Amino acid sequence: MDTEKNLKTSIAGESQANRKYAAFAKKADEEGYPAVAKLFRAASEAEAIHAAAQLRAIGAVKSTAENLKAAIEGETYEFTQMYPGFIAKAEEEGSKQAKIAFNQANEAEKVHAALYTKVLDSLESKPEVEFYLCTVCGNIVENEAPDKCRICNAPKKAFKKVE
């Protein structure tokens, strides 16, 4: 079906634009262009709105339990199949920065899958848990930020509480 294919292509494009514009906003802030940063943040959010609407249109957003299962499947694919190949290729080609980025993402995806599994297993009890995100590598920890990230060694101050 062409519409389904188009939705999948559009979701990927909108999602990439969302992240790209968020990175552009951060850079504009760093370089002292607050108005440009605001525009990039607005566009980033607009792209997220587009992707969310298209995800709903394709039927990709389901019950919380189904969404957790899909997240576990996606994260597991990334750390068992996708990233190992990317890491090997980056090493073969001598791309140290890419290898570090892929390694950190791979390790974080393992954590994400484990956390999704843990939450799925306790879904009915609706546990109260706090999560902290390492803003350097994407690691997520429960209840309290560690003194150092176990994946990238970032200090405790690099973690932000997720609301």
Q: What is the pLDDT along the chain (163 residues), one digit of tens a residue?
A: 799 999 999 999 999 999 999 999 999 999 999 999 999 999 999 999 999 999 999 999 999 999 999 999 999 999 999 999 999 999 999 999 999 999 999 999 999 999 999 999 999 998 899 999 999 999 999 999 999 999 999 999 999 999 9
Amino acid at 122: S
Q: Which domains does the chain have, with CATH numbers?
A: 2-58 (1.20.1260.10), 62-125 (1.20.1260.10), 128-163 (2.20.28.10)
Cα distances (Å, whole numbers) of residue 108 to 10, 33, 84, 101, 162: 26, 32, 13, 11, 16
Could you tell me the two tokens for 47? 């792209």
In 3D space, the residue among 47, 24, 45 whose CA is nearest the CA of residue 36 turns out to be: 24
Q: Is 11 in contact with 55 (CB distance < 8 Å)?
A: yes
Q: Is 108 in contact with 127 (CB distance < 8 Å)?
A: no
Distance CA 77, CA 55 (A): 20
Write down the pTM of the prediction.
0.88
pLDDT at 56: 95
